[in-house]
């Protein structure tokens, strides 16, 4: 079975290719030396691809689920043992804008947040955080569906992923606390070497090429 490693925040993009709510999303995951982390998700230009009454109904449902903290992102955080620190509207009228701030209390919570058992027809994801002295490493193993369901790895599936990214900007930054990045693959490292941006475009290219890749991020803590 072909495997691919990449960072946790790609999971929502890979696992959720359906639905008619689109948005621009910036995710920042700030990781402490012990593996605890703060998650900040900023969303803007939230809109429906439907029109008329259907769009109004879909947006009303989205607004209600966000206010009730019933959407999938809240569930993922809580299932991982995380705490919702704050969730609030920036713009409460379409196109919506909002943000979520959550705290993942330890490395185990971080790993659970970034992991998912997809079963036979979804991507399976396993996140790993490693600490060895002053060295830290974050990686995720993403395993495509079984060959019995090749449509999930087909060109049409990859085209759907590319279109979803085109419909809404999705960027993920991993920031370190008291850390200096020493090695990376699958990321663009900031000049100050304290954070890195996930190279989502390159991951899509790898899917298209049907190749194996192992992105990771390593850093040293002071």
Q: Are 126 and 140 in contact (CB under 8 A)?
A: yes
pLDDT in tens, 168-201: 788 999 999 999 999 998 899 999 999 999 887 7
For 46, counting Cβ atoms within 10 Å of its Cβ (0-12 exposed, 13-18 middle, 19+ buried), the class is buried
Q: Note down pLDDT in tens along the chain; length 222 residues.
A: 444 434 444 444 443 434 588 999 999 999 999 999 999 999 999 999 899 999 999 999 999 999 999 999 999 999 999 999 999 999 999 999 999 999 999 999 999 998 988 666 666 778 899 999 999 999 977 676 664 444 445 566 566 666 666 677 889 999 999 999 999 988 999 999 999 998 877 766 665 665 555 789 999 998
Residue ranges of domains in the chain: 4-221
pLDDT in tens, 71-87: 999 999 999 999 999 99
Which long-range contacts does 80-85 make (Cβ < 8 Å, 24+ apart)? Answer: 80/104, 80/109, 80/110, 80/112, 80/113, 81/105, 81/106, 81/108, 81/109, 81/112, 82/39, 82/109, 82/113, 85/38
User: How far is residue 50's CA from residue 43's CA, in Å, rounded to a whole number?
Assistant: 19
Angle (CA) 180-181-186 rounded to 5° is 160
Average pLDDT, the chain: 83
Q: Are 190 and 105 in contact (CB under 8 A)?
A: no
187 phi/psi in degrees, rounded to 5: -135, 155
Q: Enumerate the β-bridge partners of residue 124.
A: 143
């Amino acid at each position: 079975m072909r495997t691919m490693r990449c960072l946790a925040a790609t999971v929502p993009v890979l696992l959720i290719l359906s639905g008619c709510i689109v948005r621009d999303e910036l995710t920042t995951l700030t990781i402490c030396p012990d593996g605890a982390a703060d998650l900040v998700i900023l969303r803007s230009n939230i809109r429906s691809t439907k029109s008329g009454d259907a769009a109004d109904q879909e947006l009303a449902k989205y607004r209600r689920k966000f206010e009730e903290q019933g959407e999938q992102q809240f569930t993922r955080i809580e299932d991982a043992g995380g705490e919702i620190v704050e969730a609030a509207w920036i713009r409460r009228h379409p196109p919506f804008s909002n943000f979520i701030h959550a705290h993942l209390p330890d490395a185990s919570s971080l790993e659970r947040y970034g992991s998912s058992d997809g079963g036979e027809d979804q991507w399976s994801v396993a996140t790993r955080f490693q600490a060895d002295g002053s060295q830290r490493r974050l990686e995720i193993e993403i395993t495509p569906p079984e060959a019995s369901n090749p449509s999930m790895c087909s060109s049409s599936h990859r085209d759907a992923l590319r279109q979803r990214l085109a419909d809404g900007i999705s960027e993920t930054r991993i920031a370190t606390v008291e850390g200096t990045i020493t090695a990376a693959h699958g990321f663009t490292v900031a000049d100050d070497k304290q954070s890195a941006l996930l190279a989502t475009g390159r991951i899509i290219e790898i899917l298209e090429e049907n190749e194996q890749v192992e992105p990771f991020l390593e850093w040293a803590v002071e």
